[in-house]
Amino acid sequence: MATGSVQLYETASAKSDASGHCTIKFNLPHVNRVWQGTIQALDSPAGTLWAVSFGGNTFGNLYAPGPFGPIQVLPSQQVTMKATGLTASTLYSAILIGVNDPIDNPTPYTGPTSVTSVTLEVP
């Protein structure tokens, strides 16, 4: 595992249910690491409201495509995004881009704030 600061491109996806509700959950940061960055909703309709929470607390709203942030996520905190009113049974994805830092010495986060294209390999 990296010991210094490394670039972060963490993706997550989930399928909406029959009612058009979708919850996307990111993996947790590794032990003794902290994630800093911004989130983008990659394929939901423009303007879709995603409620963003981590550590069990709602942090704010992302309006697709975003970006949302900057945020700082500790090892015990899972980033979760929830939206309603989406197309049923459709796969939606998001990306957290930024830096993956040692928890004892995180660097000040300065960007990037958005991406224009991402290629995902989703099973």
Within-domain flag for 117: no
19-66 pLDDT, tens digit each? 999 999 999 998 999 999 999 999 999 999 999 998 788 889 999 999
Within-domain flag for 116: no
Top-confidence residue, 26 or 118: 26
Within-domain flag for 60: yes
Question: CATH number for the domain including 53?
Answer: 2.60.120
Phi, psi torsion values for 80, nearest 5 degrees: -130, 140
Look at the alpha carbons of 119, 37, 78, 82 in this order and tell me if their dihedral is positive or negative: negative
Within-domain flag for 35: yes
Q: How many distinct structural domains can be found in the chain?
A: 1
Instruction: Give residue 14's pLDDT band: very low, low, confident or very high (50, 70, 90).
Output: very high
Within-domain flag for 21: yes
Q: Where are the beta strands (DSSP E) in 27-90?
A: 33-41, 49-54, 57-63, 68-73, 80-83
How far apart, in whole angstroms, are the C-alpha atoms of residue 24 and residue 35?
Answer: 17
Query: Is a pLDDT exceeding 90 seen at residue 111?
Result: no
Residue 37: how many other CB atoms lie within 10 Å = 26
Q: Could you tell me the residue range of the domain that residue 20 belongs to?
A: 6-102
* pTM beyond cutoff 0.95: no
Within-domain flag for 36: yes
Instruction: Give residue 117's pLDDT band: very low, low, confident or very high (50, 70, 90).
Output: low
Within-domain flag for 119: no
Q: Where are the beta strands (DSSP E) in the chain?
A: 6-15, 22-25, 33-41, 49-54, 57-63, 68-73, 80-83, 91-102
Within-domain flag for 33: yes
